Amino acid sequence: MLRERGETLPEQMAAAVVPADIIGFLDGGERAIGAAKEAIAYAGKIGSRAAEESIAYPEKTVKLLAPIPRPRKLLMVGLNYRDHAQESGNPLPEYPTFFMKGAVCVTNPGDPIEYPRVSKQLDYEAEMAFVIGKRGRHIPKEKALEYVAGYTIVNDVSVRDYQHRGQWTMGKNFENAAPMGPYLVLKDEIPDPHVLDVSCFLNGERVQHSNTKQLIFDVNYLVNYISECVTIEPGDVVSTGTPSGVGLFRTPQLFMKPGDVVRIEVGKIGVLENRIVGE
């Protein structure tokens, strides 16, 4: 496309405007997003030439990676669905509860989740997450969505027996404990993130089903609250919490085991599926 326009260094120009690294891409802001959309439109315009020239590839021929493989911050919100707070026996919180996951937790769509040999309580948590696209501090709620780049899915995999040994951190930070994907859907395709169905299936059986309208603290509130404490940056991921139906609070309890397949569906975002394998 740039070559056809007469750019003298088209490859270098493309790499500068639309970096291959997702954090660099998000740092590029609206210019990078606009250029990427233009490239997609161009690929559609030239049809079969896009595949012949290795511009576009059928999804089945490529491996999807986590959209944000190394988030600058990966913030998780606890007890943020009304039905989940009720099933856990907790009152609705006055303020959000946060914890963090390390980048080592992030796992690609379709990649295995390791079943830890030290635990028999590996649980699923279906979550909608938003990705920050603009740096800022002290963001008013009414302007919060201006700082969001888009949305994805996170499975907040939890090792319950370790989680309940006092503080949550270890039980939430086993390797592979944050499958993410399959896409980063830009916010212009999801003008309202608070009307999305969220479901989780274990071996084909639906075990969680809710809607983001059940969030206690919505995206606007979370952006405002987080930015009161720290500067938000492009590439930060905030996972908004899980609805009711987690294995811990079912009767009888239901935990994942090797051979199981866990699938999360979030409306307008897609499907995130992973298989459990022995460590």
Pair (143, 23) in one structural domain: no
Give domain status of residue 2, yes or no: no
**DSSP tag of 59:** G
Could you tell me which of 126, 172, 180, 133 has the C-alpha nearest to residue 152? 180
Residue 68 lies in a domain: no
* Residue-range definition of the domain harbouring residue 45: 10-61
Low-confidence ranges of the chain (pLDDT < 70): 1-17, 46-48, 50-53
CB atoms within 10 A of CB 153: 25
d(CA 87, CA 115): 25
> Do 139 and 30 lie in a common domain?
no
Considering the domain architecture, whether residues 36 and 116 belong to the same structural domain is answered as no
Q: Whose structure tokens read 């169905």?
A: 197
36 with 118, same domain: the answer is: no
Positive or negative CA dihedral for 42, 43, 48, 52?
A: positive
Which pLDDT does position 16 carry in this prediction?
Answer: 47
* pLDDT given for residue 103 in this prediction: 94
Q: How many structural domains is the chain composed of?
A: 2
Structure confidence by residue, pLDDT tens digits, 41-93: 877 776 667 666 677 788 999 999 999 999 999 999 999 999 988 888 889 99
Does residue 54 sit in the same domain as residue 152? no
- The Cα 140–Cα 223 span in angstroms is 8
Based on the fold, state whether residues 224 and 252 are members of the same structural domain. yes
Q: What is the pLDDT of residues 139-168, one digit of tens each?
A: 999 999 999 999 999 999 999 999 998 788
| Pair (236, 148) in one structural domain | yes
Domain CATH for 237: 3.90.850.10
pTM score of the predicted model:
0.93
For residue 270, the cross-strand partners are 266
